[in-house]
Amino acid sequence: MKVLANDGISQSGIDALEQNGFEVLTTRVAQEQLESFINEQDVAALLVRSATTVRKDLIDNCPGLKLIGRGGVGMDNIDVDYARSKGLHVINTPAASSASVAELVFAHLYGGVRFLFDANRNMPLEGDSNFKALKKNYAKGKELRGKTMGIVGFGRIGREVAKIAIGCGMKVVASDSFVDDVTIGLDFFDGQSLDFNIKTVELNQLLAESDFISLHVPAQKDYVIGKAQLALMKPGVAIINAARGGVVNEEALLEALESGQLSFAALDVFENEPTPAIKVLMNGKLSLSPHIGAATQEAQDRIGTELASQIAELLS
């Protein structure tokens, strides 16, 4: 039985699938050629990440397909309900990459409060000729300790962000339409653990109280953060979006950066992905990364082996 990992899969995932008798294809097939490839190769399971879409027409035209797997959390690139109505298994790995995304949030946060995203642009250009001026420009950094971290969306990733924030000495405020009360457990290197109870609040309260705001919500029909929400925030707040492009209004974000309402912002995802707007890419107050939240070796190993385990259970 053949498995097509169209957006890639870790070697550990390949090994686990092959040990269970599956043939793994890792050819990157263009979207417009995917239907014919699946049918010609008699592919039973299609694995994707965010690059490949699996819509109704593909499902209808590939009768031999038995399973669709998403390596990661969100499945907005798959017509999940329709696929299941046609008898296909649809699986994902919601917990595998949570820690990796949370760590990227804090990479952007630490880089933002110490201006590293900008310093790394300018030091190669001016470090030998303008060192003292650069030192002065970047000498007004802030600590995260003692600040308030607002987390919009308090699922698996949001809770991992909360764990790191608590470990940094931050206060955590969370908002989630479907979650009221969560106990966060922190496990330490020596076997000790501590529990922290967090009650969620309304979004407007979070916006008013937070020094830093991180978004962890699925794709939405409308913006979660637009001009009206930005107006409710403290002057000098910072926003990190490592969730989905389109949950933040980038036009309003740029305006808030230019006016000083925001001190900086960080984006790992974009409205026009994979071709972000030039004015977004060139803004000096934005810390940017190319949708790499889940792209760690550890997360990819977990994703691959979790997918392999589910496929073996469902199709063997």
List, for residues 268-277, the tens digit of each pLDDT value: 999 999 999 9
Predicted confidence (pLDDT) per residue in 180-220, tens digit: 999 999 999 999 999 999 999 999 999 999 999 999 999 88
Predicted confidence (pLDDT) per residue in 215-237, tens digit: 999 988 899 999 999 999 999 99
Does 74 have pLDDT greater than 90? no
Binning pLDDT at 50, 70 and 90, where does residue 158 land?
very high
Residues 109 and 235 in one domain: yes
Residues 215 and 128 in one domain: yes
Residues 248 and 103 in one domain: yes
pLDDT of residue 241: 98
Q: Calculate helix-pair angle for 116-126, 98-113, nearest 10 degrees.
A: 60
Tell me whether residue 159 is one of the annotated catalytic residues: no
Binning pLDDT at 50, 70 and 90, where does residue 50 land?
confident
Q: Please give the residue range of the domain that contains residue 226.
A: 98-288
Does 103 have pLDDT greater than 90? yes
Cβ proximity of 245 and 269 under 8 Å? yes
pLDDT of residue 189: 95
Residues 244 and 310 in one domain: no
Residues 90 and 107 in one domain: no
**Which residue in 159, 216, 244, 302 is the catalytic one?**
244
**C-alpha angle 162/216/232, rounded to 5°?**
90
Residues 242 and 214 in one domain: yes
Tell me whether residue 291 is one of the annotated catalytic residues: yes
**Which residue in 108, 291, 302, 306 is the catalytic one?**
291
Q: Which domain CATH number covers 196?
A: 3.40.50.720
Span 30-45, mean pLDDT?
A: 97
Tell me whether residue 216 is one of the annotated catalytic residues: no
Q: Which residues lie closer than 8 Å to 12 by C-beta, 6 or more apart?
A: 301, 304, 305
Binning pLDDT at 50, 70 and 90, where does residue 72 land?
confident
pLDDT of residue 316: 82
Span 144-168, mean pLDDT?
A: 97
Does 94 have pLDDT greater than 90? no
Whole-number mean pLDDT of the chain? 96
As for how many domains the chain has, the answer is 2
Residues 126 and 79 in one domain: no
Residues 49 and 116 in one domain: no
| pTM of the complete model | 0.90
Residues 282 and 306 in one domain: no
Task: Give me the percent of the chain exceeding a pLDDT of 70.
Answer: 100
Residues 39 and 82 in one domain: yes
Cα pseudo-dihedral 125, 278, 55, 18, rounded to 10: -10
Binning pLDDT at 50, 70 and 90, where does residue 288 land?
very high
**What is the per-residue DSSP string for the chain?**
-EEEETT---HHHHHHHHHTT-EEE-----GGGHHHHHHHHTEEEEEE-SS--B-HHHHHH-TT--EEEESSS--TTB-HHHHHHTT-EEEE-TTTTHHHHHHHHHHHHHHHHTTHHHHHHHHHHHTTTSHHHHHHHT-----STT-EEEEES-SHHHHHHHHHHHHTT-EEEEE-TT-SEEEEEEE-TTS-EEEEEEE---HHHHHHH-SEEEE-----SS-SB-HHHHHTSPTTEEEEE-S-TTSB-HHHHHHHHHHTSEEEEEESS-TTTTS--HHHHT-TTEEE-SS-TT-SHHHHHHHHHHHHHHHHHHH-
Residues 226 and 258 in one domain: yes
